[in-house]
Amino acid sequence: MIYHLPTVRSNRQGFESLGELAKATKGLFADRLELDMSRVSFLDANMAAPLGAVLTRATDEFNIVEIVAVPRGVERVLRKNEFLTGFGYDSLEDTNNTTMPFRRLRLRDEGAFEKYIQDGDRLPRNGRND
């Protein structure tokens, strides 16, 4: 399935857009999701967390998720916060220290969120807390 994500900001419309993505991918199982970001003119970096939750659910259902056609400015931000590293993109050094690295935390990772907040830049760079 190919899904065209629109611009995602930290507002009602942004959350509704991610809700639509969740709804569209709910029945996807052992398939492929191509998330086409060519229509994204802006993505608030903090919206990577809810986007990540939707995509995690898709991968938990044995789907392959590929993110394609990411506009340069959006890609730059999502490489700096390392969101895209889980999707085959290289990270990009944040020389201005303006981002917190994206991390996928699970309920079983007791105390990991507190550690992330305190020591965010020193967490493992693989997006996990194993």
pLDDT tens-place string over residues 35-46: 999 999 999 999
Instruction: Identify the pLDDT of residue 112.
Output: 58
Name the band, by pLDDT with cuts 50, 70 and 90, for residue 128.
very low
- Tell which wins on pLDDT, 63 or 130: 63
Identify the pLDDT of residue 130: 37
Which segments of the chain are extended strands (E)? 2-4, 32-36, 64-68
Q: What is the pTM of this model?
A: 0.81
Return the higher-pLDDT residue of 104 and 72.
72
In this prediction, what percent of the chain has a pLDDT beyond 70?
81
SS3 call for 38: coil
Q: Residue 123: is its pLDDT beyond 50? A: no
3-state helix vs strand vs coil in the chain, percent to 5: 40, 10, 45
pLDDT higher than 50, residue 90? yes
Q: What angle do CA 97, 129, 62 make, to 5 degrees?
A: 110
Domain ranges across the chain: 2-99, 100-130
Length reported for the chain: 130
Residues 27-32 have a mean pLDDT of: 97
Fold of 2-99: Transcription Regulator spoIIAA (3.30.750)
Local confidence band at 102 (pLDDT 50, 70, 90 cut-offs): confident
